């Protein structure tokens, strides 16, 4: 068990005082079924052993475990053997993917004060694995270009779109130059992609101490923050176009699959890109001249941040890879359901790390295995889940969700027929439950969170989330939306699920196949960001700084285990459609977009007036001269009526279904229930459009997508929202129509279900 | 002239195109009088010579010129001689004030890694005066306590009230400890005062590079920012209680004046306080342990900022002064008015610096002298102003507005009878006009700004202000109030005057005597903040980084000269009362306060709910534990009706007067005009209450005061606003009544004036 004895007693006491006072319903369950389910879950909990988590994490993170490494394969086999020993059917599914291995990395500042970058992460006292060198991937990014370039250096802040607007106003452009961007804000791969689109010939990305170093906390090994020589590795593949193997978009990368040529692979970048530490970045940044960087561009190095681009700092950058392939090993374990073997609840976590990968991803993998062990024991004792469980250990997530995407593409037809839900986790921290996914499952997750005790505070996971949201809404800088949520919470409303963008293995299930999807994890009390994707994401670090009690890994197992088992055993699948239709989700997103259109129209008009009045040259400061901004295209008045009407219909239908299920759900015949479940299982697929989003057909979900210009960050109602942001008026009109159409299809499916359950 | 030839031509061209298209009225003038006045002003301009500014600034800043220094007295005599040579009557008025001179300063970090602070500003190449040592005041603050203390060190961020709330939540208190605070946000003297009130026994104030050092720009001498060893001197006297000589509040510090004993002087602090450079601060801050400082506490030093207070860093601080007295020398020059010699327009700038004082204050003094020279020439040519001008060079401003306050107190009765306006300037920079003061003068200043060309941009000073405000209002972080102002500006409204708090010599005239007051200056394009109150505020610095063309000093003379002359010659004094009564001033302040009361009530209630629900322990992060905040007193529903009604009456009366003056102002008889002017001259004195503000009777103005808890920053409607902030409900009710009463008195005076000018 994960609770020390006294905390456990306190939790029981509090449960009597608070949770018991407000019994939380299990959606899709009648009271008797709910009681039985909760009893099962209590038995599940007793099978979770702290020693398992510690032991597995230590073993798996004892050697480098990136794609293709011997230790990764050994971990796959170890997992498979354990899963089999727990009573699961197992197999390892392989895919062959494009896999450039780093060959050469060189970076030097030329000129009067030359500097040759170290590009190395040294061993640290107290971090036992950091002295290993055999098989360790050097600092690099995967799916950047090869190149050997020498050019003037330009500092571009985070290297996101708005930074290029600021560069232009400072009269600096990056054509033919090498950019240096700091990690943070936008996703890693955006930085070289935008640099490439603006004409740069090379890109450097570094970790500024402002963002995850000494500015935040003491550097490792004295504290949890990133140290002087630590480097964040990662992928720069443009997965907002499509994730997975760059050569096989849309199909499984089996040995015989049809492949693109490398130069056709839209997700692979062209310019050489290298990630570095702040230790290596400081001499480069200190050499820059030219304009002083805008205030919000300045990091925590003891220098005056300047933009450069004036020939002050010439840099030589050389990056080369071996453009070969590697084999991925996905471990797939199945526990056949007793009643509905053709309905699958899928649960995954990746297994590959950049080096030792203790927090990311192996912590999450220990939770997955512990769940499988506990569920296996229950099955052995006769309490097999009613629906089939599929537990998956993905390979190659770090390079761009390779293992999960290839598997989802390969098994697409079967998944469309059988999948009920995909539940994802990744590296786990300590603190607050972060839950994102399909909004009709919001009540399900609130119910799970209400039934679990948070180890640090002793209150329920849900109460802790609620307290956080309400306290944050009191801060002077709180946004109106936060205050609205806090008001609803104060009145007893549910904690909203987050909408999912990308960055972990849920993406193909949610955004390509349209399955109901959840992503769960704990964090927010410090964690592994100071060693993220570095040599130092180790067992020693995890046990000192991430989760020293190993109390949040059992909690993650409890959270995911309940989620999986509640869905697997549910008499009626647990959607509540009002949570999808209403202001916390679809209706709220539409409202945001309409407000954004109004604000953009007003702001373009205001700026036009000021441009016409010559206001920008009038305020220009000769000490910090700025060019006038480029005029923004005018925003026409947009007809959102088709969308508004579809949402209004959806809200009415959702309310009718939710009320009908509460009134009549317990009394349904087995036949009706089966029909209902089959419909509920597939309903999220109505939200797809087969032609996908503009320029990225792989992404078919019209409710959730990662932003093409933001990377991980979600864009809700993406066809509409991104058309507005990019001022594509034809697309905007088209996607208002298409989005209304899929919402209507979803609503019609709801109506059919309501008809099924409403008496005669 | 201050314009290069081509800019001047451009300015003329633009004047034809824009300013001429919208002729700006001169308030208080009929068209013929306005034309004559503008012709006079054009002649005034021709007398401004760039060489004068350069020469005077170089001469006056060639030696240390603090209170009591030989060079300060030499500058006084030089000024007096020049003023007399320009045709002014002159005298030097002396006062005897408490003046502690620094004797001992020592600061050392004890323990394993001891460090002895340098406390010295070294000579710099290219800064010719920095090699002087003779007579230079060492880094120190005046009116702190003497002491020799050894104690544990605590970092308190800016050392303002909210920082002590954060300290408490971190479980750290400062009793018996020495605090180290960074310069910025609150006024300097608040930091040791709050430390003292919280039980600290010593205080250190340092300049973090985040606030005015390398984070902002290259350090001097490479650029304008503060360097590693530069120290900000200053006063820590509690001038929000009363400014001026600490021993003679309310009366002139003449030789025979009745004096308090030192221990009775409420404005003098008790604990030893020392200002230091970041070079000396870094070893101290790096030695601190204890909680990591909150994010907005962290500066730009390459360390992890921590709070300390756990015994990790013991410090020895010794500060001693010679508690003697010094003589102040105010230079007072008078030019007798041709028509109304008993009506005075007063204009002042201080003369004392901390060391060489080139930017602060001598740049402003050059503008003053150039105006006096130009006006003297006009008088010699027969164009003497109609009202008397009094030009004053104040001594001892830096220590706490000593010279101006003692003079205003000494001449209080005469000033109440004769003063029409006090116009202040101080050190001048480059960029935008900053204009603050009595709001009925808003139109006057807009008219002056409309008639002047900005040297950097070539557009009018007013257009530049308008462009700045409108562009800033487009920023995503712009506040609703900024957007409101921008909308009014877009519709042709005036640029609002700022309300005045304290920090320069206008305070006694505005807040003690209730005279109409203005404070004018240029800045906002970089300036002297990087050498503020240091050895390096030199001619060399000014000529390189503040105003290399010497173009904004003539512009300041043009601005103040026009202001002074337009008032001195005005047929009717130029108030427009709507600008005082309406939303940009009094009505807006009342609205702000009512909204604040509502927000405070809501926020106290929300926090109470969260405290009762145990939300704070529920979210506490064991890695960064925080105690729950202390419950805030509930905010009752407050009856603002007396204030609202007084303001409504005021607005109606103001409108009636403003319209009557436009309709009938030109046709008034000389007798009516004289009566009217006499009334207008004294009307601001109706805004005083003789008992003053709670706990600080020296401050009598119920519209404008410096914040008792903020220092320089203004509190408008201070009796009401501060009572709300401090939760003093009796005071709140009392000051709602008193403020309504003074607004009624002001309104009655307006009504009498309206009756005078409206045709019987």
pTM: predicted TM-score of the whole model, two decimal places: 0.95
Query: Residue B2: its pLDDT value, please?
Result: 33
Position A196 in a domain:
yes
B464 contacts A304? CB cut-off 8 A: no
Q: Burial level of A92, CB count in 10 A (0-12/13-18/19+)?
A: middle
**Per-residue pLDDT reduced to its tens digit, A266-286:** 999 999 999 999 999 999 999
Query: Residue B712: its pLDDT value, please?
Result: 85
Nearest to A610 among B303, B471, B607 (CB): B471
3 state DSSP class of B524: strand
Position with higher pLDDT, A536 vs A3: A536
Same domain? A309 vs A210: yes
Instruction: Say if CB A154 and CB A309 are below 8 A apart.
Output: yes
A303 contacts B525? CB cut-off 8 A: no
What tokens were used for B478? 């712009």
Same domain? A191 vs A319: yes
Query: Residue B24: its pLDDT value, please?
Result: 62
Q: Which of B322, B339, B368 is the last residue of a domain?
A: B322
- Domain range for residue B611? 580-757
CATH number at residue A356: 3.40.630.10
Average pLDDT, chain A: 95
The residues with which B316 forms a beta bridge, in sequence order, are B108, B150
What tokens were used for A59? 């073993």
Instruction: Say if CB A397 and CB A504 are below 8 A apart.
Output: yes
At residue B226, what are phi and psi to the nearest 5 degrees?
-70, 135
Number of neighbouring beta carbons within 10 Å of residue B640: 18
A463: chain B residues, CB-CB within 8 Å: 618
Position A513 in a domain:
yes
Query: Residue B666: its pLDDT value, please?
Result: 86
Instruction: Quote the DSSP letter at residue A413.
Output: H
- Find, among A266, A272, A308, the residue nearest to A289 by Cα: A308
Nearest to A471 among B490, B619, B623 (CB): B619
Position B691 in a domain:
yes
What tokens were used for A527? 């964690």
What tokens were used for A88? 């699961």
Position A364 in a domain:
yes
| Average pLDDT rounded to a whole number, residues A420-434 | 97
Q: Which of A519, A553, A577 is the last residue of a domain?
A: A577
A2 pLDDT tier (thresholds 50, 70, 90): very low
Same domain? A124 vs A182: yes
pLDDT of A8 strictly over 50: no
Q: Which of B576, B608, B637 is the last residue of a domain?
A: B576
Position A488 in a domain:
no
B292 contacts A618? CB cut-off 8 A: no
- Taking each helix axis from N to C terminus, what angle separates B31-46 and B552-569, rounded to the nearest 10 degrees? 150
Say how far apart CA B683 and CA B514 lie, in whole Å. Answer: 9
A304 contacts B216? CB cut-off 8 A: yes
Query: Residue A528: its pLDDT value, please?
Result: 75
Same domain? B631 vs B548: no
Whether the bond into A221 is cis, omega within 30 of 0: yes
Whether the bond into A361 is cis, omega within 30 of 0: yes
Same domain? A83 vs A113: no
Helix (H) or strand (E) holding B599: helix B586-612
- β-strands B141-142, B234-235: how paired? parallel
A432: chain B residues, CB-CB within 8 Å: 619
Chain B interface, best mutation among A18, A298, A623, A624, by max B CB count within 10 A = A623
Q: What sign does the dihedral A537-A540-A546-A549 (CA atoms) show?
A: positive
A20 pLDDT tier (thresholds 50, 70, 90): very low
Chain A interface, best mutation among B281, B298, B623, B625, by max A CB count within 10 A = B623
pLDDT of B558 strictly over 70: yes
Distance from CA of A145 to the nearest CA of B (A): 34
A603: chain B residues, CB-CB within 8 Å: 474
Position with higher pLDDT, A699 vs B525: A699
B624 contacts A302? CB cut-off 8 A: no
pLDDT of A616 strictly over 80: yes
Query: Residue B471: its pLDDT value, please?
Result: 96
Same domain? A54 vs A180: no
| Average pLDDT rounded to a whole number, residues B614-628 | 95
Position A647 in a domain:
yes
pLDDT of A319 strictly over 90: yes
Same domain? A437 vs A525: yes
Say how far apart CA B610 and CA B601 lie, in whole Å. Answer: 14
CATH number at residue B207: 3.50.30.30
Same domain? B110 vs B180: yes
B217 contacts A613? CB cut-off 8 A: no
Helix (H) or strand (E) holding B122: none
A223 contacts B474? CB cut-off 8 A: no
**Per-residue pLDDT reduced to its tens digit, A665-717:** 888 999 999 999 999 999 999 999 999 999 999 999 999 999 998 878 999 99
| Average pLDDT rounded to a whole number, residues A432-459 | 97
| Average pLDDT rounded to a whole number, residues A577-603 | 96
Instruction: Say if CB B420 and CB B372 are below 8 A apart.
Output: no
Cβ neighbours of residue A579 under 8 Å, at least 6 residues apart? Answer: A439, A440, A441, A442, A443, A494, A497, A585
| Average pLDDT rounded to a whole number, residues B543-560 | 97
What tokens were used for A298? 């300045």
Same domain? B632 vs B562: no
Position B481 in a domain:
no
Same domain? A595 vs A630: yes
Position A484 in a domain:
no
A165 pLDDT tier (thresholds 50, 70, 90): very high
3 state DSSP class of B350: strand
pLDDT of A354 strictly over 90: yes
Average pLDDT, chain B: 95
If you measure CA to CA, which chain A residue comes closest to B609? Answer: A490
Chains A, B: CB contacts under 8 A, how many? 125
Query: Residue A313: its pLDDT value, please?
Result: 97
Same domain? B647 vs B526: no
Distance from CA of A279 to the nearest CA of B (A): 12
B610: chain A residues, CB-CB within 8 Å: 467, 470-471, 474
B223: chain A residues, CB-CB within 8 Å: 304
Instruction: Say if CB B510 and CB B438 are below 8 A apart.
Output: yes
B613 contacts A525? CB cut-off 8 A: no
CATH number at residue A609: 1.20.930.40
Same domain? A81 vs A66: yes
Distance from CA of B257 to the nearest CA of A (A): 49
Say how far apart CA A349 and CA A361 lie, in whole Å. Answer: 7
- Find, among A238, A257, A236, the residue nearest to A409 by Cα: A257
* Number of structural domains in chain A: 3
Query: Residue A24: its pLDDT value, please?
Result: 62
B300 contacts A470? CB cut-off 8 A: no
Query: Residue B526: its pLDDT value, please?
Result: 75
Distance from CA of B473 to the nearest CA of A (A): 10
Distance from CA of B594 to the nearest CA of A (A): 17
If you measure CA to CA, which chain A residue comes closest to B430? Answer: A621
B619: chain A residues, CB-CB within 8 Å: 432, 457, 464, 467-468, 471
């Amino acid at each position: 068990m994960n609770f020390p004895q006294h905390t456990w007693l306190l939790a029981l006491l509090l449960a009597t005082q608070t949770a018991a006072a407000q019994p939380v319903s299990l959606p899709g369950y009648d009271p008797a079924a709910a009681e039985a389910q909760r009893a099962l879950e209590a038995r599940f909990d007793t099978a979770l052993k702290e020693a398992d988590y510690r032991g597995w994490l230590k073993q798996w993170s004892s050697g480098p475990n990136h794609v293709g490494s011997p230790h990764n394969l050994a971990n796959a086999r170890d997992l498979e053997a354990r899963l089999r020993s727990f009573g699961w059917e197992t197999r390892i599914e392989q895919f062959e993917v494009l896999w450039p291995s780093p060959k050469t990395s060189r970076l030097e500042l030329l000129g009067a004060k030359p500097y040759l970058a170290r590009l190395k992460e040294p061993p640290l006292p107290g971090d036992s694995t950091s002295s290993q060198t055999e098989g360790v991937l050097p600092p690099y990014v995967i799916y950047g270009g090869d190149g050997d370039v020498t050019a003037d250096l330009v500092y571009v802040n985070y290297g996101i779109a708005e930074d290029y607007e600021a560069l232009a106003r400072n009269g600096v452009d990056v054509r033919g130059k090498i950019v240096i961007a700091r990690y943070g804000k936008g996703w890693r791969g955006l930085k070289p992609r935008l640099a490439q689109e603006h004409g740069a010939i090379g890109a450097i990305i570094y970790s500024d101490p402002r963002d995850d170093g000494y500015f935040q906390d003491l550097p490792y090994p004295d504290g949890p923050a990133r140290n002087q020589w630590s480097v964040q590795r990662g992928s720069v593949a443009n997965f907002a176009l499509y994730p997975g193997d760059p050569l096989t978009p849309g199909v499984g990368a089996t040995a015989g699959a049809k492949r693109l040529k490398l130069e056709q692979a839209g997700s692979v970048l062209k310019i050489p890109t290298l990630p570095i530490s702040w230790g290596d970045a400081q001499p480069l940044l200190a050499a820059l001249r030219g304009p002083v960087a805008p205030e919000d561009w300045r990091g925590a190095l003891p220098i005056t941040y300047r933009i450069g681009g004036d020939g002050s700092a010439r840099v030589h950058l050389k990056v080369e890879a071996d453009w070969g392939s590697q084999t991925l090993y996905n471990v797939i374990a199945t526990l056949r359901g007793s009643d509905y073997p053709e309905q699958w609840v899928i649960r995954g976590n990746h297994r590959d790390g950049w080096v030792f990968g203790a927090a990311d991803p192996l912590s999450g993998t220990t939770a997955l295995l512990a769940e499988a062990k506990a569920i296996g024991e229950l099955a052995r004792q006769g309490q097999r889940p009613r629906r089939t469980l599929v537990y998956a250990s993905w390979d190659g997530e770090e390079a761009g969700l390779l293992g999960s995407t290839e598997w989802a593409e390969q098994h697409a037809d079967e998944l469309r027929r059988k999948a009920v839900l995909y539940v994802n986790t990744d590296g786990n921290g300590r603190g607050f439950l972060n839950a994102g996914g399909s909004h009709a499952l919001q009540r399900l997750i609130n119910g799970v969170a209400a039934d679990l005790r948070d180890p640090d505070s002793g209150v329920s996971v849900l109460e802790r989330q609620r307290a956080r949201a309400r306290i944050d809404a009191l801060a002077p800088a709180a946004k109106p939306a936060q205050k609205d949520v806090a008001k609803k919470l104060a009145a007893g409303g549910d904690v909203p699920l987050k909408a999912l963008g990308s960055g972990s293995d849920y993406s193909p299930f949610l955004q390509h196949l349209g399955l109901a999807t959840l992503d769960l994890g704990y964090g927010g009390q410090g964690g592994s960001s100071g060693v993220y994707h570095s040599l130092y994401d180790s067992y020693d670090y995890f046990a000192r700084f991430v989760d020293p009690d190993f109390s949040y890994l059992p909690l993650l197992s409890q959270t995911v285990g309940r989620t999986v088992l509640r869905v697997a055993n549910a008499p009626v699948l647990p959607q509540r459609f009002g949570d999808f239709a209403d202001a916390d989700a679809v209706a709220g997103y539409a409202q945001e977009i309409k407000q954004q259109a109004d604000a953009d129209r007003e702001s373009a008009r205001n700026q036009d007036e000021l441009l016409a009045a010559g206001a920008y040259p009038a305020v220009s400061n000769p000490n910090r001269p700025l060019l006038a901004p480029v005029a923004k295209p005018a925003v026409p008045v947009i007809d959102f009526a088709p969308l508004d009407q579809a949402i209004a219909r959806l809200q009415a239908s959702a309310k009718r279904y939710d009320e009908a299920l509460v009134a009549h759900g317990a009394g349904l015949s087995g036949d009706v229930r089966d029909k209902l479940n089959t419909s509920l299982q597939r309903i999220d697929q109505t939200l797809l459009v087969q032609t996908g989003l503009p320029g990225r057909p792989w992404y078919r979900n019209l409710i959730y997508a990662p932003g093409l210009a933001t990377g991980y960050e979600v864009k809700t109602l993406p066809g509409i929202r991104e058309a507005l942001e990019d001022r594509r008026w034809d697309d905007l009109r088209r996607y208002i129509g298409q989005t209304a159409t899929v919402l209507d299809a979803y609503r019609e499916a709801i109506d059919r279900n309501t008809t099924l359950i409403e008496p005669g």
